[in-house]
Amino acid sequence: MANKISDKDQKQMAVPATRAGRFMRMAKMAGGVTGGMLAEGTRQLAAGKRPKVRDMLLTPGNAKRVADQLSAMRGAAMKVGQILSMESDQFLPKELADILAQLRSNAHSMPAKQLEQALVEAYGEDWQYEFYHFNGVPIAAASIGQVHRVTTVDGADIVLKIQFPGIDKSIDSDVDNIAALLGATGLLPESIDLQPLLEDAKQQLHDEADYLKEAKYLQSFAKALADDQRFTVPQYHKQFSTRKILAMDYVEGEAIEEVAKLDQQERNRVMTCLIELALRELFELRLIQSDPNFANYLYNSSNKKIVLLDFGASRKLKANFVNHYRQLAAAAIEGDGEKILSAAEKLGYQLNEASDDYQQLVLKLFLIALEPLREDIEYDFSNTDLANRLAELSNDVGDFKEFWQAPPTDILYLHRKIGGMFLMASKLNAQVNVYRLIKPWL
């Protein structure tokens, strides 16, 4: 038995587990931003310029200070940064958006002392005797927790997803305080009302922090895909799981990006499988795994199966929402602008009172975003400027501040999933006939 936890060779950063500790992190961020403003103002005065508040705030140094502190706090604080960078980067200053994007792949783990504490709380002082071998170096780390490979006394090869201390209790205050702080420092433009999105994010984060709830989603997907030989879903191990530790099979696999090195046929097959699964999640299961992070997918080259990981961000959808989105997709294929706007209104977009110009802008955004499914062709994701066209058009939304709103949350998470699939298809240089995949569902 080799279960001694060591700090050796780990990229670590202690997670502030108390409310006071997390408040100090935010105070440090605010102080750093203020100091950065003074320094930038002094520099501009010395250069004979009259500094503007916005210019002093939106420096790369200040943006990095914000990202560093969100990263150190992990949990909800880091998730707020991820939300802002992934969902609203077209509305944020480029300096902030670029730095916040780094939060998507942060890989700091917690020190041995905090890890030991988490294991003792879950299994007791003699936790070592629960396992034949515990690898103290995590194989993955993210915003909510980290993953360790373990061998049980029965010889099972499993992983433990272990939650960072204090994360579950800090969600509401972290989301409120970080959003308020970003607004107060001017790093978040006043014209953006993200409150509905942030309130929904709180609930989503509470769900993600409940690993027993994630276990139910894990089992739901395992059951739904039990007869589908294209996918592998890890088996859940109830006896080692708690609300803050999730145990499941260790599954072999390479990073999904490795598929890009394979031949065109296999690249196309893998992405066809994933997009087909996303459509089944939407239209049949009404349960989507809404986080399309590449790290949540592996590829097993020996059996050519796709391994699905991390179901914490799974999201249930109501039947009427799915039906309205079905109408939207059908209208997009028809190219019927009136039907698209009508379906969008039913989905929660407030367009009836908006100007014709704003409605036309929203219409164009939908038509571009859903472009891959609109024609009966092998859409070449390796040779498209779709993302650039979307970003360019999104810049025009700022001209309609009186009408702009945070997208309805279910739409936001669904488009995050669809956009993630399209981004992965681009990364893998795949060609997929999305039209034929979606047509049977319409």
> What's the chain look like in SS3?
CECCCCCCCCCECCCCCCHHHHHHHHHHHHHHHHHHHHHHHHHHHHCCCCCCHHHHHCCHHHHHHHHHHHHHHCHHHHHHHHHHHHHCCCCCCHHHHHHHHHHHHCCCECCHHHHHHHHHHHHCCCHHHHEEEECCCCCEECCCEEEEEEEECCCCEEEEEEECCCHHHHHHHHHHHHHHHHHHCCCCCCCCCCHHHHHHHHHHHHHHCCHHHHHHHHHHHHHHCCCCCCEECCCECHHHCCCCEEEEECCCCEEHHHHHHCCHHHHHHHHHHHHHHHHHHHHHHCEEECCCCHHHEEEECCCCEEEECCCCCEEECCHHHHHHHHHHHHHHHHCCHHHHHHHHHHHCCCCCCCCHHHHHHHHHHHHHHCHHHCCCCCEEHHHCCHHHHHHHHHHHHHHHCCCCCCCCHHHHHHHHHHHHHHHHHHHCCCEECHHHHHHHHC
> What amino acid positions are annotated as catalytic residues?
291
Q: Which of 439, 441, 428, 438 is nearest to 269 (CA)?
A: 428
* Structural Rg of the chain based on CA atoms: 23
Tokens 């480029």 sit on residue:
94
> Nearest Cα to 141, choosing from 101, 105, 167?
105
Reference 211, options 117, 144, 296; nearest CA is 144
Q: How many CB atoms lie within 10 A of CB 163?
A: 24
Backbone angles phi, psi at 53, to 5 degrees: -55, -45
For residue 273, CA distances in Å to 252, 266, 298, 310, 334 come to 19, 11, 13, 18, 25
Report residue 335: phi and psi, to 5°: 75, 25
